[in-house]
Copies of this chain bind each other. A is one copy, B any other.
Amino acid sequence: MRRFECVAIIGVGLIGGSVGLALRQRNLAAKVVGVGRRHSSLRVARRIGAVTTTTIDIARGVADAELVVVCTPVGQIVEHVRQAAANCPAGTLITDAGSTKQQICQQLDGTLPRGCRFLGSHPLAGSEKSGPAHAAADLFEGRVAIVTPTANTRAEDFDLIEQFWESLGSVVISLSPAEHDRALALTSHLPHVLAAALALSVPEKLFRLCGTGLLDTTRLAAGDPLLWQQILVSNRDYMLAALEQLGQQVERFRKAILQSDAQELLHLLTQAKRARDALGS
């Protein structure tokens, strides 16, 4: 992996902070500039060693960047990429870490000024916690990072971004932006909605009667509401399809319970166990 002189990270929360930490601890970048809105977050990012310098001014932050990684919430990525492209060195490659890709890539693909290019990324890492204080240098190790090239993507840009995530320990998978969003609606966004709906279904007076199962099943609901609002809004169509798919499966259980059909319940539970066991632990 090449060593960068300067990487700019816009948004130094859990993901951005972890990118910075991993770059620094693996000695992959001499200078990591953290760009953020809040001085408090930037201070934490500096203190944990995720960045070498910080600024709240995007234009100054990206002025010397050889690579820009935008790690802000989905709803702000397009704007931040455009601001970066207007101020970074000509021909700079920009990527992101957003949880949806289709809207972002459609708006940015082939539209950046001065030879700058955008190539979307989504590292499948994170947690229900947020902020640079929870950043970890090994957050991406052994995790999948999805890169979403389009017809306009240059081979050398794909190679660079692929190597970038691999150098942080990830396994890279290439999907089109639409394939990404359809898949993640099922594997990530649907579980979040379910966890939230379940958390809302259990009256607070029953909380003392909860076992570890409910804690696991609802854990995602502790995620940042603003981040998830933007993800759900930007993946509307695939989310509706995913909810439809889930509804069909829930209905199979409901019908079997309604009819006291023990045989069918055993069949469904056995199928589900087989799927869950195949998912790993």
Q: Give chain B residues whose Cβ lies under 8 Å from the Cβ of A198.
A: 190-191, 194, 246, 249
Range for the number of chain A residues in contact with chain B: 35 or more
Asked if residues A187 and B210 are in contact (CB atoms below 8 Å), the reply is yes
Chain A residues touching B, majority SS: helix
Q: Are B216 and A216 in touch, CB under 8 angstroms?
A: yes
State the Cβ distance, A74 to closest chain B Cβ, in Å: 12
Given known pairs A187-B202, A201-B190, A229-B266, the reply for A273 and B215 (CB within 8 Å) is no
Asked whether any CB of chain B lies closer than 8 Å to the CB of A204, the reply is: yes
- Nearest residue (CB) in B for A226 is B266
A23 to B239, CA, bound (A): 50
Q: Per-residue CB proximity of A171-197 to B under 8 Å, as 1/0?
A: 001000000000110111011111111
Chain B residue numbers with a CB within 8 Å of A133 are none
Q: Which of A9-17, A65-73, A121-129, A151-159 contacts B (4 or more CB under 8 A)?
A: A121-129
- Cβ distance A279 to chain B, nearest Cβ, rounded Å: 6
